[in-house]
Amino acid sequence: MKTSRIPTHKINELILNRWSPRALSEEKLSNEELMSLFEAARWAPSSYNNQPWRFIYATRDSQFWNTFVSLMGEFNQSWAKNAAALVVLVSKKTFDHNGEPSVTHSFDAGAAWENLAIEAASRNIVAHGMQGFDYEKARTELGIPEGYNVEIMIALGKLGNKEDLPEMLKEREAPSDRKTLDQIVMEGSFKSE
Amino acid sequence: MKTSRIPTHKINELILNRWSPRALSEEKLSNEELMSLFEAARWAPSSYNNQPWRFIYATRDSQFWNTFVSLMGEFNQSWAKNAAALVVLVSKKTFDHNGEPSVTHSFDAGAAWENLAIEAASRNIVAHGMQGFDYEKARTELGIPEGYNVEIMIALGKLGNKEDLPEMLKEREAPSDRKTLDQIVMEGSFKSE
């Protein structure tokens, strides 16, 4: 992927140009492509290398597909139903080595997600994270135990054509901007915006 | 950075070779280098593009340095005191646009952290995340308001020489391995390991 974003400071293009399109082609992802995305997630850092992230997925041609689609809200269904795969990302709330609660399980899962998103963008694969789904239904329908936290859903698929999106989504189909560095970086102590 | 890690599936080298060294040289980071790391973090995805991440930092030559060092536990102080900069990463718990609680603020901050870590690794800069510090002391000393969650500390600096580490840390100074894909990826529903 390539965007017209201009960074304040020069950074890796892979990071700068990752964004979250909704336009999905109808192409499948090969198993190799899908597994490469999880492979990228796999190498993220985590507290005590606990790797709390777990990826539960369904491909469009599978018996599980309709269940995964039904978890999403109407808005996300309107475009993500065209995904090649849907993923529910959950995180283990305790450490493997001693069973104690982890304070960073969600944070660590976020790092794994970003690896997946960057790897996807570098392959012109859409990886769009979603919060607009039924967290409790996901837990019940996918049998997610209490010891795991439901984090986000992810729609995956080959990048499609913006023109094929519904009118309302067409306008929003562009890389978003960000707060300035001044707004997110503070020296010495916390400062309000 | 370059490691001897072998991925199960081919992925971007930047992602595969990022790891968390503790060997820090005594060199400073230029302001440009430091800001480039935050710049990378800046472009991470987040729910509603809320960008909940805030980075509070101190460089070694600043008046804030001793305070930041004092937040860490003894183990992390033993090596991270040689960092060029220390960072406390916090996340805003509510959405800017409506003040409602966000369920993904920690997760989103984790994505920003991974961008920073990847950018650092690509520059042979150490970015080592830490959970071993006093979260409550960080809140008090840095004046972090209740509406923000303390996530992790990060030690930043130029990559140093493994041989200069204390004996105990020397042995641990190597890229860590990961669970297999089978252990973190599940089709259709949650499966226990």
Q: Which two tokens stand for residue B146?
A: 């209740």
* pLDDT (average), residues B124-139: 98
Per the CB < 8 A criterion, the answer to whether B14 and B122 are in contact is yes
Residue numbers in A near B19 (CB within 8 A) = 45
Is a pLDDT exceeding 70 seen at residue A193? no
Residues 6 or more apart whose CB falls under 8 angstroms from that of A66 comprise none
Residue numbers in B near A149 (CB within 8 A) = none
Mean pLDDT of chain A: 97
B87: containing domain: 13-163
Per the CB < 8 A criterion, the answer to whether B2 and B21 are in contact is no
Among residues of chain B, what percentage have pLDDT more than 70?
99
Question: Chain B closest CA to A103's CA: distance in Å?
Answer: 8
Backbone angles phi and psi of B110, in degrees to 5:
-65, -35
B173 domain residue, yes or no: no
One-letter amino acid at B169 equals L
- Predicted confidence (pLDDT) per residue in A90-114, tens digit: 999 999 999 999 999 999 999 999 9
Can you spell out the DSSP letters for A15-65?
HHT------B-SPPPPHHHHHHHHHHHHT---GGG---EEEEEEETTSTTH
> Alpha-carbon distance A29 to A60, whole Å?
10
B33 domain residue, yes or no: yes
B176 domain residue, yes or no: no
Is a pLDDT exceeding 90 seen at residue A1? no
- Predicted confidence (pLDDT) per residue in B34-43, tens digit: 999 999 999 9
- Predicted confidence (pLDDT) per residue in A153-179, tens digit: 999 999 999 999 999 999 999 999 999
A118 domain residue, yes or no: yes
Among residues of chain B, what percentage have pLDDT more than 90?
95
Give, as one character, the DSSP assignment of residue A96: T
B24 domain residue, yes or no: yes
> Alpha-carbon distance B182 to B139, whole Å?
39
Is a pLDDT exceeding 70 seen at residue B6? yes
The residue of B4, B32, B39 whose CB has the most chain A CBs within 10 angstroms, and thus the best one to mutate to test that interface, is B39
Is a pLDDT exceeding 70 seen at residue A152? yes
Is a pLDDT exceeding 90 seen at residue B193? no
E strand segments, chain A: 53-59, 85-92, 125-130, 148-158, 185-187
Instruction: Please tell me the predicted confidence (pLDDT) of residue A37.
Output: 98
Classify residue B23 as exposed, middle or buried by CB count within 10 Å of its CB (0-12, 13-18, 19+): buried
Residue numbers in A near B42 (CB within 8 A) = 8, 178-179, 181, 184
Q: Which two tokens stand for residue A7?
A: 């960074």
- Chain B residue with Cα closest to A34: B9
* pLDDT (average), residues B73-81: 95
What is the helix (H) or strand (E) element at residue A113, kind and residue range? helix A105-122
Using CA atoms, how far residue A187 sits from A30, B9, B149, B187, in Å, is 46, 40, 18, 45
Instruction: Please tell me the predicted confidence (pLDDT) of residue A124.
Output: 96
B56 domain residue, yes or no: yes
* pLDDT (average), residues A44-57: 98
Residue numbers in B near A15 (CB within 8 A) = 40, 43, 115, 118-119
Q: Which of A167, A185, A151 is nearest to A53 (CA)?
A: A151
Q: Which of A66, A117, A48 is nearest to A89 (CA)?
A: A117
Is a pLDDT exceeding 90 seen at residue A135? yes
- Predicted confidence (pLDDT) per residue in B162-184, tens digit: 999 999 999 999 999 999 999 99
What is the helix (H) or strand (E) element at residue B158, kind and residue range? strand B148-158
CB contact under 8 A, A118 and B15: yes
End-to-end CA distance of chain B: give it in Å, rounded: 32
Q: Reduced to 3 states, what is the DSSP secondary structure of residue A122? A: helix
What is the helix (H) or strand (E) element at residue B181, kind and residue range? helix B181-184
* pLDDT (average), residues B8-33: 96
CB contact under 8 A, B119 and A15: yes
Among residues of chain A, what percentage have pLDDT more than 90?
96
The structure tokens 């916090």 sit at B90
CATH code of the domain covering residue A79? 3.40.109.10
The structure tokens 């580490």 sit at B165
- Predicted confidence (pLDDT) per residue in B147-159, tens digit: 999 999 999 999 9
Q: Which of B19, B94, B50, B188 is nearest to A115 (CA)?
A: B19
Question: Chain A closest CA to B76's CA: distance in Å?
Answer: 13
Question: Chain B closest CA to A29's CA: distance in Å?
Answer: 15
B170 domain residue, yes or no: no
Instruction: Please tell me the predicted confidence (pLDDT) of residue A80.
Output: 96
Is a pLDDT exceeding 80 seen at residue B110? yes
ipTM above 0.95, yes or no: yes
Tally of structural domains, chain A: 1
B134 domain residue, yes or no: yes
